[in-house]
Structure 1
């Protein structure tokens, strides 16, 4: 782990771009970008198209390190190249943007009002490759739908257990227990989640640092205590299905919480836009998310 990257993520102004749609969500991401399913006939072609989309975003002058601190990549993106460099190297060397990798294998079936992550038997191997590819940190997502104590505890236990494995490999984990924005008892879920996370943070040793990725809370500044915790490098927020404008408005109300948006970043981009139009739309999104993050 590079100290300069650590300091940048901890202290600099900006936000983290989430470019990590995976197999399941890729067709949706492509469709939103104006590429229909008949444009590809297999997974390989699909991933080529999505890599073209991500390359266009990353190489755009609007994808600017003045506003963007880090970018979360999908495994295939990590192993792909941009202008002859592996994506993480391109981000770090050409852009000064810190690379992260999505490491989870998706969600298990719902149980106790939550979805924990599917098992990750190949995680050690993936972390080894992530180190070779100069990745700084990782991201993994679980989902909470109901204020069920047993379920929420299972989510946070699993996240921190895997998080420690990631720390041991020399990377910084982004722990992401998303609370579903449509949960009828969202605020109650968030109170329980916060208590559970605090418990785990207080048990980390001084050389164990994590990041957190949370749904923007119903009650403003719910997570302030987590943001100020000495073991927390940074707390970022997902857009969670809110539109860019709504997500930005909600984010602004929370002190010290910065964005890590995916859909909100790319929702107005289209494959048929000219470079000028594409860069202008991306710049608008980047600017608005940055403003909300600071």
Structure 2
């Protein structure tokens, strides 16, 4: 099939991903990153434990009320639960769309001040074909840009934007909705207005490249960071300012044809992520997009700690996941009451975070 043949499906899938009151569960951490989380609760990093953890997530009763799709790591896409049922089938049975992380990680971009580029384009078409056959219907490619002296450089931004656009077009040729994720990291001491300025530049560059590559914008989703100050900034912004600048940034750089934005949490705590998303959705705006969530740590953190690797805690951990999913569902409609859902509150920031 060609892109034109897939286009109706791409549009329908993208719309379903940002259905009212729903967002994405990002559980696409690499084997190493997932292992670090398991080791934090005393579990060995092996396939059985990774399977058990992800089975806990996917079998949470009622999760489908708040979650439209789940981003998987390749191992998980081809994995089955302890009952022998494939995870893709478990998700589809709930009406949760399976997705797949397709980038192969960041590497140093030679000639820059410690900046990176994202790898994986050379094998992407073949892998996407395989992933579609397995049941994936959308994909994610994360590149990361930092704010520092002279950063992001023109070179790093051009490489990131070009590769995101090439990735998006290749995915669409294979029937997968591309999530476009040009993450601007929160590392640093820059203020929130600096973040906004950089994000505007990033968005305009990325979507110019998407236009050059013939990407069908109606069959894509944007996954940015919210517009927050650097984690070491002394001038902390309040949620209303963060919301205002986040919406302004989108209205200045995101085409109206994109159906929705699924924000990443990027090291922001569970509760703060929900509060910021709620404030964003309380604002009047010109932009027509759905503004919702695609959280990993901000959905999984309290759930993982509640489970603690103990079978007796399974249901309590699932209740914790469902509570945070409900909080973010409400926030995606501007209806969340801060503190109304439980959270083990802490900073989830990890310097130079990788998946």
Q: Fold match, TM over 0.5? A: yes
CA contact (8 A) 1:177 1:214 kept: yes
| Gaps in structure 1 of 5+ consecutive residues | 41-45
What are the equivalent positions in structure 2 for 1:178-193 lying under 5 Å apart?
178-183=183-188, 184=190, 185-193=194-202
| Structure 1 residue aligned with 2:106 | 107
Q: Please tell me whether the aligned partners of residues 103 and 119 of structure 2 are also in contact (alpha carbons under 8 angstroms).
A: yes
Distance across 2 between alignment mates of 1:161 and 1:170: 14
For residues 324 and 18 of structure 2, what CA distance do their matches in structure 1 show? 23
Q: What CA distance in whole angstroms lies between the structure 2 residues aligned with 1:186 and 1:285?
A: 27
Structure 2: runs of 5 or more not aligned: 1-5, 229-244, 282-289, 334-355
Q: For 2:142, what is the secondary structure of its paired residue?
A: strand
The change in CA–CA distance for 1:6 and 1:236 in structure 2 (over 3 A counts) is closer
TM-score, structure 1 normalization: 0.87
Q: Map 1:7-156; keep pairs closer than 5 Å.
A: 7-32=15-40, 34-36=41-43, 39-40=44-45, 46-62=46-62, 64-82=63-81, 83-92=83-92, 94-110=93-109, 112=112, 114-146=115-147, 147-156=152-161
The residue that corresponds to 1:241 in the other structure is 267
Match of 2:276 among 250, 261, 284: 250
- When residues 229 and 13 of structure 1 are mapped into structure 2, their CA distance, relative to the original with a 3 A threshold, is same
Residue matched to 2:347: none
Tell me which residue corresponds to 1:43.
none
For residues 10 and 247 of structure 1, do their structure 2 counterparts lie closer, same or farther at Cα, with a shift above 3 Å needed?
A: closer
SS at match of 2:103: coil
Q: Displacement of 1:159 after TM fit? A: 0.7
The alpha-carbon deviation at position 153 of structure 1 amounts to 1.9
Provide the secondary structure at the position in 1 that maps to 2:16. Answer: helix
Change (3 A) 1:205 1:121: closer
CA contact (8 A) 1:239 1:264 kept: yes
Per-residue CA deviations over 1:81-136 (Å, capped at 9, x if unaligned) read: 134332222211x2101111001111011553532212443322211211111110
Aligned partner of residue 24 in structure 2, secondary structure = strand
Separation in structure 1 between the aligned mates of residue 332 and residue 47 of structure 2, nearest angstrom: 30
Looking at structure 2, the residues matched to 132 and 247 of structure 1 have their Cα atoms a distance apart, in angstroms, of: 34
SS in 2 for 1:236: strand
Question: What's the TM-score, normalizing by structure 2?
Answer: 0.73
Instruction: Supply the distance in 2 between the matched residues of 1:170 and 1:177 (Cα, whole angstroms).
Output: 21
Q: Between Structure 1 and Structure 2, how many residues are aligned?
A: 283
Higher deviation after alignment, 194-203 or 257-266: 194-203
